[in-house]
Structure 1
Amino acid sequence: MSASFDVVVIGAGAAGLFCASQAGQRGLKVLLLDHSEKVAEKIRISGGGRCNFTNIGTTPAQFLGENPHFCRSALSRYTPQDFVELLQKHAVPFHEKHKGQLFCDRSAEDIINLLLAECALGGVTRWQPCAVKSLDGPAQTGTDFYHIHSDRGLIQTPQIVIATGGLSIPKIGATDFGYRIARQFGLKMIEPKPALVPLTFDGLDWQPFAQLAGLALPVLMETGAADASPKQRKKATVFAEDLLFTHRGLSGPAVLQISSYWQAGEPVRVNLAPGVDLAATLLRTKAGSRKLVANELASLVPSRLAEAWTSTDEALQRPINDATDKALQTLAQRLSDWQLTPNGTEGYKKAEVTTGGVDTRELSSQTMESRQKGLYFIGEVVDVTGWLGGYNFQWAWASGFACAQALAAH
């Protein structure tokens, strides 16, 4: 027994659901299938359960990949405002947090329900759970059709959309399926890596800082050209966000952002007191205070941080008026330009997204179709990765929409 559809979308996450709904509403006969029983788990857990579904400040500048301009076409044709209008159509309440991030007022379930309602409007057939055992291309079938061998039988279609995401968070069903399909049809890949992920540090080196676990503070954090001249350091990637100390290393928005750019073996630099001239302030305070250095420093940075930083140096365990100028200047320098080299990341289990994926040089930026006719790739499986803050969802909507507009009825 076999079934035929105009298009089969594999992967019922953000990009797949949206693409299927838009294609269905254009009159195509659409099948959406996923190996998982649950739909859109990544949406469900995102944004602390409230789903940071887009960012009103989205531009191509917030995306990285081997070809950072690839996303430009799709992003220009489906904007954050377009998705906001869809929420308004479905009466989904939302609010803006800082830096243009939009979240649901109630729950991420509102976004999932919206996408399912849009699929219903398009008459989309959805099979879940439904695993794909193998996939034959037109060259193998000797026709214009792909044959999908699934655990619900044979499916025939002239067009397949791969929306299976990356390797991030395997416990909710992430697999390398999309990458395997790309390789099967001879498409080049950019090596995948965990991104938007906490950084880890060597156990012994990290021991003095592990006691700070749970402490958060605003910082400036950078990577790239970190040991270079001031001129070269202009090329460094810098984020002004919050940092969070953990037992194993560093997390928080600043770290997640920088992790997408960090290369193994490279140091990162952190200014733990941005906007404060620590050296000048400490030297000025020295003239009229008998408080301990740690106590004076605690007025400039969190007290736990001040205590940890001064406790390892005898020259700083004294009243500030007894400390040498050099000791205070060294302290200020270390706090405002803390250099450390991660030994790795927390990996895919904690990564919000995956960088790398299907090489964009193999795809049309207008349609998301690959060099293999009738085979499309959208969302996270493609080598397009956004910053933290709703940008990756906007790429899901935009790439799904661009693809849906290009699909043909048969």
Structure 2
Amino acid sequence: MTGGNDRYDAVVLGAGAAGLMCAARAAQRGARVLLADHNETPGRKILISGGGRCNFTNIHTSPDRFLSGNRHFAKSALSRYTARDFLALVEAYGIAWHEKTLGQLFCDGSARQIVGLLLEECRKGGVELTLGQPTSGVTRDEGGFTLELGGRSIRAAQLVVATGGPSIPKLGASSFAYEAARQFGLKVVEPRPALVPLTLPGEELLFRELSGVSSDVVASHGKTRFHEAALFTHRGLSGPAILQISSYWYPGDEIGIDFLPGQAPELLVERKRAQPSLHFQSALRGLLPDRLAGALCSRLGLSGDLGNLPDKALRGAAARLKDWRFRPSGSEGFAKAEVTVGGVGTAGLSSKTMEAKNVPGLYFIGEGVDVTGWLGGYNFQWAWASGVAAAEAVAERAAAA
């Protein structure tokens, strides 16, 4: 996948999920494509995802599971390349997979199988792959785009930016997509960390001392709710429920935690009637992990047998346990964020092709765009779908040239 002259139908910058898919599809449809990345290894984020097994899609993918300044923007691409479409590709390569929970699909083996699949798709299309070469500048004229790429001057009629967002900088993440967007007159929605652990302030030290304790909860922010596990850490809160709600959280906001999901508000009063001699903390320990029950009991300030506690106090305790309010002091930032909320504004892009409306031949795909999915394979599905949408447009334009 190397060699040739320095003029292409399209250059795809970024050999992550979206870039690999786009390059492969465009090339297989007849476009001459160069895929370039400043990293030495393609698909680095794919390789670490899902604990090394790659949560490559979610069978419940739908547009309402994505955050964006325009909640309708993702509909077109997601409807034209679905989770079933990518699963069919996985199965065509004989890659064994399983559904873990909530529609999340993982490789039985290794995430390397997904990267291998994408590289083979690129090979089939004759994609030229250049790794470990930084892009030092991009300019545009009537003939297309010129890029300085590792000492080479590259010309291309079309440019696809698939360089992602700033999450997980140790993998080589950068703000290149935002800089390119601004250079060509597109607006950028302020990026912030998403799917990220939240930190707690000093007054919540009691909870930080629960590091390692996990519990089934419902985490909420406004009307948004996620029923999954929460994990207490030495810095604050993590686990799937917290990562999900973090995408909706802004500094200064509160989040709510229902420590008794599915339990009735009258739970403790009913337990009092049935077991009046049961100690309050023992009642909580029957519902929650021991260390968590002890910490919550201490915060509630109740002790003694249930029969000796007023119904009003028990109802108040249950109400607080079902909507315990936390005001995080912050998040663990882009270093620990799985993805980024915000990015290249969708108002400047075609939802069908990902092409910049005012810059013909310029496309933005994947995480760099202001479309962010829930935890559980949704962001990979957006990468595949947006990559395919751009690829089809790239190939069509190349064929017409």
Q: What's the TM-score bracket when you normalise by the shorter of the two chains?
A: over 0.9
Q: CA deviation at 1:282?
A: 4.2
Unaligned runs of 5+ in 1: 225-235
Give 1:15's aligned residue: 18
Equivalent residue for 1:208, pick from 199, 206, 209 = 206
Letter in 2 for 1:189: V
Paired residues for 1:5-404 under 5 Å: 5-138=8-141, 143-203=142-202, 205-224=203-222, 236-285=223-272, 288-312=275-299, 314=301, 316-370=302-356, 371-404=358-391
Please identify, of 250-259 and 273-282, the stretch whose mean Cα deviation from structure 2 is larger: 273-282
Give me the whole-angstrom Cα distance separating, in 1, the residues matched to 2:252 and 2:110. 39
Q: CA deviation at 1:394?
A: 0.4
Give me the whole-angstrom Cα distance separating, in 1, the residues matched to 2:5 and 2:83. 39
Letter in 2 for 1:187: L
Letter in 2 for 1:262: W
> Partner of 1:98: helix, strand, or coil?
coil
Give me the whole-angstrom Cα distance separating, in 1, the residues matched to 2:274 and 2:97. 52
Give me the whole-angstrom Cα distance separating, in 2, the residues matched to 1:256 and 1:312. 25
Q: 1:304 to 1:282 in 2, by over 3 A?
A: farther
> Partner of 1:349: helix, strand, or coil?
helix
Q: CA deviation at 1:343?
A: 1.5
> Partner of 2:174: helix, strand, or coil?
coil
> Partner of 1:197: helix, strand, or coil?
coil
Give me the whole-angstrom Cα distance separating, in 2, the residues matched to 1:340 and 1:89. 47
Q: CA deviation at 1:163?
A: 0.1
Give me the whole-angstrom Cα distance separating, in 2, the residues matched to 1:110 and 1:210. 38
Q: 1:137 to 1:103 in 2, by over 3 A?
A: same
Cα offsets for 1:345-366 (capped at 9, x unmatched): 1100110100110000100111
> Partner of 1:402: helix, strand, or coil?
helix
CA contact (8 A) 2:221 2:248 kept: yes
Give me the whole-angstrom Cα distance separating, in 2, the residues matched to 1:364 and 1:380. 16
Cα offsets for 1:131-150 (capped at 9, x unmatched): 00111111xxxx31211012
Letter in 1 for 2:75: R
CA contact (8 A) 1:170 1:348 kept: yes
CA contact (8 A) 2:200 2:208 kept: no
Please identify, of 273-282 and 251-260, the stretch whose mean Cα deviation from structure 2 is larger: 273-282
Q: CA deviation at 1:324?
A: 3.2
Cα offsets for 1:305-326 (capped at 9, x unmatched): 1111123455x23233333333
Q: CA deviation at 1:303?
A: 1.7
Q: CA deviation at 1:113?
A: 0.3
**Matched positions, count:** 393
Letter in 1 for 2:200: F
Give me the whole-angstrom Cα distance separating, in 2, the residues matched to 1:38 and 1:117. 15
Cα offsets for 1:280-330 (capped at 9, x unmatched): 33453356343321112111222211111123455x232333333333222
Please identify, of 69-78 and 280-289, the stretch whose mean Cα deviation from structure 2 is larger: 280-289
Please identify, of 154-163 and 248-257, the stretch whose mean Cα deviation from structure 2 is larger: 248-257
Q: 1:284 to 1:87 in 2, by over 3 A?
A: closer
Please identify, of 1-10 and 38-47, the stretch whose mean Cα deviation from structure 2 is larger: 1-10
> Partner of 1:265: helix, strand, or coil?
coil
Please identify, of 371-380 and 317-326, the stretch whose mean Cα deviation from structure 2 is larger: 317-326
CA contact (8 A) 2:166 2:173 kept: yes
Give me the whole-angstrom Cα distance separating, in 1, the residues matched to 2:185 and 2:309. 66
Q: CA deviation at 1:88?
A: 1.2
Give 2:7's aligned residue: 4
Q: 1:98 to 1:287 in 2, by over 3 A?
A: closer
Cα offsets for 1:135-182 (capped at 9, x unmatched): 1111xxxx3121101213100011000000001000010000110000
Point out 4+ residue stretches in structure 1 off by more than 6 angstroms: none
Give me the whole-angstrom Cα distance separating, in 2, the residues matched to 1:194 and 1:110. 28
Give 1:230's aligned residue: none
> Partner of 1:7: helix, strand, or coil?
strand
Cα offsets for 1:355-409 (capped at 9, x unmatched): 1100001001111110211110000000001111111000000000010000122
Give me the whole-angstrom Cα distance separating, in 1, the residues matched to 2:231 and 2:321. 15
Letter in 2 for 1:330: G
Q: CA deviation at 1:278?
A: 5.0
> Partner of 2:148: helix, strand, or coil?
strand
Q: 1:313 to 1:64 in 2, by over 3 A?
A: closer
Unaligned runs of 5+ in 2: none
Give me the whole-angstrom Cα distance separating, in 1, the residues matched to 2:182 and 2:275. 69
